[in-house]
Amino acid sequence: MAIEIFWLSGSPYSWRVLLALEIKQASYVDRRLDGSKGDLKSPEYLAINPRGRAPALRDGDFVLNESVAIMAYLDQACPGPKLFGASAGETGQIWRFICECSDYLADETIAAVLPVFSGQLPEKREAVFASVEKVRAEFARIERVLADQDWFVGDAISAADIAVYPFAALALRGARAAEKQGVDLGFLPFVGRYPAVGRWMDRIEALPRYQKTYPPHWRAADVAPGSAV
């Protein structure tokens, strides 16, 4: 039985899992969820993930939630390039970057951009910019890491890159949406401010199966004038 992946379009956590699957060229059954239709709270889905969040994995009788845990499972369960390092040193470094993303980047990115997409930027401007400053500090750190290397660890993409990339993409999209609302979050022009990060994102986006992971509702919005959600 094929691995089933339950995911939400635009969720950076779901995006991590889709990227991992495509980089490993794994076979899976696509179970896209729609939060607006109550899919996350349906009895069927809560039986898979009682927390009612995405992503989740089901492989036969085995179920698992949390994006990094799923990535680690896929790394062991599926053939293809190893995502969590080929040595103790690489594994430790990869986990360090994943933990730093979790502790310092992920929540602050969501806090910075969610009010932009929900139309609450004017009333939440102070809180947004408090989070923006923290995200910009993380981008500056990442810029230094990538200044003289292509990937976070080693000479190929790893779980560290996969864990961080969706939040960088989300921050950039949020900055562009804010710009359309007449607000500068301080990320743009992105390549001018973070050239190494920009080149790193280009490398990921040039991967052969990257487009299959791109959030479909973002793609739909991209062709609708004035839309960025």
Q: Verify cis geometry, omega within 30 degrees of 0, for the bond prior to 43.
A: no
CA distance 191 to 219: 22
Both structure tokens of 40: 């996350």
**Helix (H) or strand (E) segment spanning residue 179:** helix 159-180
Tokens of 154: 């080693």
Per-residue pLDDT of 118-162, as tens digits, reads 999 999 999 999 999 999 999 999 999 999 999 999 999 999 999
pLDDT tens readout for residues 35-80: 999 999 999 999 999 999 999 999 999 999 999 999 999 999 999 9
What SS3 state is found at 48? coil
pLDDT of residue 223: 54
Say what the pLDDT of residue 220 is. 86
Same domain flag for 63 and 121 = no
- Is the pLDDT at 228 greater than 50? The verdict is no
Going by C-beta distance under 8 Å and a sequence separation of 6 or more, which residues neighbour residue 209? 22, 23, 25
Total structural domains in the chain?
2
Q: Are the C-beta atoms of residues 113 and 173 closer than 8 Å to each other?
A: yes
Tell whether 54 and 166 lie within a shared domain.
no
Looking at the fold, whether 96 and 194 belong to one and the same domain comes out as: yes
Domain around 52: 3-77
Last residue in a domain, options 77, 110, 127:
77
Task: Give the span between the Cα atoms of 142 and 136, in whole angstroms.
Answer: 10
Whether 63 and 118 map to the same domain: the answer is no
